[in-house]
Chain A
Amino acid sequence: MVVEEYEGGLLDSDGRRGALAAPEDEESVFVATQWQLMWWRFRRHKLAVASAFILSLFYIAAIGAEFLSSSDPATSVVDVAYLRPQKIHWFDGGSFSPHVEKVTGARDPKTFKKIYAVDPDVKIPVSFFVRGYEYNFLGFIKADRHLLGIEGGEEGEYNRAAPYLLGTDVLGRDMAARIIMGTRISLSIGLVGVTMSFFLGITLGGISGYYGGWADAVIQRIIEITRSIPTIPLWVALAASVPRDWSIIRLYFAITIILSLVAWTELGRVVRGRFLSMREEDFITAARIAGAGDIRIIFRHMVPSFTSHVIAAATLAVPFMIISETALSFLGLGLRPPAISWGVLLQATQNVQSVAVYPWLMSPSVPVIIAVLAFNFMGDGLRDAADPYST
């Protein structure tokens, strides 16, 4: 029972949220569609709305990742390896002129550690909408503008590449750019994975619930067996068996499939339960008597009445997938460099010593936590909104 709470996200809170705030005129409640009612209920859940807003920002960042990052996340500038996060000074003696201070690096002859000295007198101006490295916006529009950068900065040129707001990693790559780029994989893997388990769950759960009989028995046994296999060892084993030389795209889908193989069971059970309870409803019997076929009954009459629940359940499954991908990649079993995801970035923190000296390597964990929390809150809000009995 406990495991469901981990997999399905967070538990219901007490579920008592006061009466549905009546819109201005009482009439509109009675003529509102199901989705409108849901929206009204969802809107009252302030935390969930805020989370939805934050998540949409995350996804916008994923789409415009190249525009938002000041330097190419894949280019390494060895001169600035392990550079401390730089601070942008917005004002210079009272006037608005954003700049970063010049950094010069030298190697300690004894320890070979890079030592950086900040020179507050040399100011490197930072400006908005700067020309930088070229990229394809949305995959096909050639562009070279970036939100923030150093005018005339050339890739690889010492001190000119970017303001390193979150420092750099071992190869002198911009951490901020890498985190923004990692948003793409880390957040899409949750969606793709959930879509996949959605598909499996609805098909198998639907067959199981609608037809019953031996199909139900077989599918239920499969679900029970899958659920009683300890998840993490199963994942670790499956992920370890993915060939090392696969391309990023193949690896991405392999990992997604591995994650959905377990996650679909929860959705499958939800869908089956809905089908079972609905099969006996009068309106379904009426449709059957009226001569509607199975397909029509399922898609015209049954699916619309439980879509909202399934969407809520799916939202709660996303954060679990994000955490799992991060954990697998962290262990080196998931995605591997040159792919960039939050988990891959966190691989650098496997060594405690390096974390102690370069704490900014931990920064990818912040978006992980924020995204997971936001998905949980939003899913909670959706579930409450989708429940017609939560008054």
Chain B
Amino acid sequence: MLGYLVRRFALAMLTMWAISILSFVIIQLPPGDFASTYVETQMGGPALVGTPAALVIETALRREYGLDQPLFVQYGKWAWKFIHGDFGVSLEYRRPVREIVGERLLMTIILASTTAVLAWTLSIPIGIYSALRQHKWEDYTVTFVGFLGLAVPDFLLALVLLWISFRLFPDHSIGGLFSPEYRVHAWTIGRVVDLFSHLWIAAFVVGTAGTAALIRVMRANLLDELNKPYVVTARAKGLNEWRVVLKYPVRIALNPLVSTMGYLLPFMMSGSIIVSVVLSLPTEGPLLLRSLLSEDLFTSATILFVLGVLTVIGTLLSDILLGFLDPRIRYVR
């Protein structure tokens, strides 16, 4: 077990390092940098580009933010500061990245965990039900809806819901996570209630594909178990049907699902990016998109890295969990 843990941990560290390089390099790929984009979009518009005045401003900006140094020096500085908790200053908002990203990280995590909880509480009972009714119309309905849930891109679902709600309640916006009066408000009970009244729609949209997939996993796992001789034995001994199903096969069928637990949360986080843009939620998604487009180096690198690290940690946790649950995994190579 120790060897397995060490190996998994070493790989996770390697992955995080690779992600940190990737997230820093990807952002440098587009032609031009923050300085030129800034001059073009914020100061004088395209007319200013290429003029001596623009060059002066750009050089000054580059010197100020260290953008004139070679890439690996920039990366080294960034990484060194990052380890020490200094994520740099957002070039666009002129505030520490830590504050900007931190504000939205809480909302992102709340949304992702609500989604994960929703996906789990919906998918397990539905999966069990669907397996028990195999080849009946209930099963076919669930399967069909599940296929549809997997096939419909979540941002389309978000659009349709927005449209419906716009039609039904023109005054009530479902975009965002707060009503206007609570948008800048201290945390009170009212704000929390307001948050959850908005959250469930977003959680529903983000969670559809995940729920559909979990239902199919649960159903397939349970079907494998239901035909085993021990279930027949339990039935033959006269246990009532619910007890037979819930006490034994369901518990075994849940095992593979448990291993996805650590993974689900970060998955929901990165999955929510596009939906967040559509529903204009105050999460990392829209911020990432905006900072990428304005080439706000440190903000986008930090968000990419944070999302990557959360995914790696999630995978690591579920792998360790799986190692505990299933001895066969520990001994593979």
Distance of B319 from chain A, by nearest CB (Å): 10
Number of A-B contacts (CB under 8 A): 157
Output the nearest chain B residue to A375 by Cβ-Cβ distance. B151
Let me know if A230 and B311 touch, CB within 8 A: yes
> Cβ of B11 < 8 Å from any Cβ of A?
yes
Let me know if A362 and B308 touch, CB within 8 A: no
Let me know if A228 and B166 touch, CB within 8 A: no
> Cβ of A330 < 8 Å from any Cβ of B?
yes
Chain A residues, CB < 8 A from B19:
225, 229
Let me know if A241 and B30 touch, CB within 8 A: yes
Chain B residues, CB < 8 A from A327:
153, 155, 274
* Contacts A229-B22, A241-B29; A323 near B270 (Cβ below 8 A): no
> Cβ of B223 < 8 Å from any Cβ of A?
yes
The listed residue (B214, B259, B292, B310) touching A237 by CB distance below 8 A is B292
Chain A residues, CB < 8 A from B219:
14
Output the nearest chain A residue to B175 by Cβ-Cβ distance. A352
> Cβ of B299 < 8 Å from any Cβ of A?
no
The listed residue (B30, B134, B150, B308) touching A233 by CB distance below 8 A is B308
* Contacts A1-B263, A232-B273; A224 near B151 (Cβ below 8 A): no
Let me know if A242 and B159 touch, CB within 8 A: no
Instruction: Write the B241-266 contact mask toward A (1 if CB under 8 angstroms, else 0).
Output: 00000000000000010011001101
Let me know if A236 and B292 touch, CB within 8 A: yes
Complex Cα distance A237/B293, Å?
9
> Cβ of A78 < 8 Å from any Cβ of B?
no
Chain A residues, CB < 8 A from B220:
11-14
Let me know if A237 and B23 touch, CB within 8 A: yes
> Cβ of B213 < 8 Å from any Cβ of A?
yes
For chain B, residues 271 to 325, give those with C-beta under 8 angstroms from any C-beta of chain A. Answer: 271, 273-274, 277-278, 288-289, 292-293, 300, 303-304, 307-308, 310-312, 315, 318
Complex Cα distance A234/B301, Å?
11
* Contacts A10-B147, A323-B153, A376-B151; A3 near B15 (Cβ below 8 A): no
Complex Cα distance A319/B219, Å?
23
Distance of A335 from chain B, by nearest CB (Å): 16
Chain B residues, CB < 8 A from A298:
none
Instruction: Write the B206-225 contact mask toward A (1 if CB under 8 angstroms, else 0).
Output: 00011001101101100100
For chain A, residues 291 to 350, give those with C-beta under 8 angstroms from any C-beta of chain B. Answer: 319, 323, 326-327, 330-331, 333, 346, 349-350
Q: Which of A130-138, A162-170, A364-372 is found at the contact surface with chain B?
A: A364-372
Let me know if B147 and A376 touch, CB within 8 A: yes
Let me know if B163 and A10 touch, CB within 8 A: no
For chain A, residues 230 to 249, give those with C-beta under 8 angstroms from any C-beta of chain B. Answer: 230-234, 236-238, 240-243
Let me know if A2 and B315 touch, CB within 8 A: no
- Number of residues in B with C-beta < 8 Å to the partner? 66
Let me know if A240 and B30 touch, CB within 8 A: yes
Let me know if A237 and B315 touch, CB within 8 A: no
Distance of B162 from chain A, by nearest CB (Å): 5
Let me know if A365 and B156 touch, CB within 8 A: yes
The listed residue (B163, B209, B216, B293) touching A240 by CB distance below 8 A is B293
Chain A residues, CB < 8 A from B304:
233-234, 237
Let me know if B277 and A331 touch, CB within 8 A: yes
Complex Cα distance A190/B15, Å?
28
Chain B residues, CB < 8 A from A233:
270, 273, 288, 303-304, 307-308
The listed residue (A6, A221, A228) touching B213 by CB distance below 8 A is A6
> Cβ of B18 < 8 Å from any Cβ of A?
yes
Chain A residues, CB < 8 A from B223:
14
Let me know if A352 and B162 touch, CB within 8 A: yes
Distance of A277 from chain B, by nearest CB (Å): 15
Distance of B1 from chain A, by nearest CB (Å): 20
Let me know if B163 and A362 touch, CB within 8 A: yes
Chain A residues, CB < 8 A from B300:
237
Distance of B200 from chain A, by nearest CB (Å): 19
Chain B residues, CB < 8 A from A12:
220
> Cβ of B31 < 8 Å from any Cβ of A?
yes
* Contacts A229-B22, A236-B292; A2 near B308 (Cβ below 8 A): no
> Cβ of B167 < 8 Å from any Cβ of A?
yes
For chain A, residues 195 to 251, give those with C-beta under 8 angstroms from any C-beta of chain B. Answer: 221, 224-225, 228-234, 236-238, 240-243
Chain B residues, CB < 8 A from A353:
166
Chain A residues, CB < 8 A from B11:
221, 224
Chain A residues, CB < 8 A from B162:
352, 355
> Cβ of B267 < 8 Å from any Cβ of A?
yes
Complex Cα distance A230/B19, Å?
10
Let me know if A229 and B14 touch, CB within 8 A: no
Let me know if B148 and A373 touch, CB within 8 A: yes
* Contacts A233-B303, A352-B163, A355-B162; A369 near B15 (Cβ below 8 A): no
Having A10-B216, A224-B11, A225-B18, one finds 9 other A-B pairs with CB under 8 Å, namely A2-B264, A6-B209, A221-B11, A232-B273, A234-B26, A241-B29, A346-B159, A355-B166, A372-B152
29 interchain pairs (CB within 8 A)? Answer: A2-B260, A2-B263, A5-B213, A5-B217, A10-B150, A11-B213, A11-B217, A14-B219, A225-B14, A228-B311, A230-B307, A236-B273, A236-B289, A237-B23, A237-B26, A237-B304, A240-B292, A241-B26, A241-B27, A243-B30, A326-B153, A352-B162, A355-B162, A355-B163, A362-B159, A373-B151, A376-B147, A376-B150, A376-B151
